[in-house]
Amino acid sequence: MAKKADEIINVLKAKGLRVTPQRYAVYANLLSRNDHPTAENILTDLNKDAPTLSQATIYLSLQTLRDVGLIREVLLQEGVCRYDANVSPHHHFRCNCCGKIEDIPWETFSNLSVDKLRSGLKVDHYEVIVQGECNSCCET
């Protein structure tokens, strides 16, 4: 998932976005991780060395990136919005103990089908959410 700086800039430009330091920082941060962070997680991470970005800026950048389809919101927990730079179809696993969310490749449930839905329902997108315990939680 790691992309070089000029690649990231090109992706933003290709979406017709002005490349601001904030957008760049937020998108680069999301691309560099796969833990589905919240806006607060990103804020903390980006302001680790010096507090340069405000919460409002982060939210605004996330919104913009989401609007053009570069990132998506992951809502697996009531009231908690997490973000994902992996916008290709995939499923999620959520650990009930530590709250960790990890990607499950789409092919994992290869025979999943929405054909049996009643007629009249138009499918936009769907994914499987598996809940349980991750291996680091099970061990202890």
Q: Which residues bind Zn ion (CB under 5 A)?
A: 84, 86, 95, 97-98, 100, 103, 134, 137
Residue 65 or 95: the one with the smaller Cβ distance to Zn ion is 95
Report the alpha-carbon distance of residue 119 to residue 111 in Å, rounded: 20
- Residue 30 CB, nearest approach to Zn ion (Å): 11
Q: ∠116-121-126 over CA atoms, to 5°? A: 75
Strands (E), the chain: 72-77, 80-84, 90-95, 101-105, 129-132
Q: Which of 29/84 has CB closer to Zn ion?
A: 84
Q: How far is the CB of 87 from Zn ion (least distance, A)?
A: 9
Distance in Å, CB of 128 to Zn ion, minimum: 12
Nearest residue (CB) to Zn ion, 97 versus 129 = 97
- 1 vs 56 by CB, closer to Zn ion: 1
Provide, rounded to whole angstroms, the least separation between the CB of residue 127 and Zn ion.
9
Cβ partners under 8 Å of residue 61, min gap 6: 20, 22, 23, 25, 26, 27
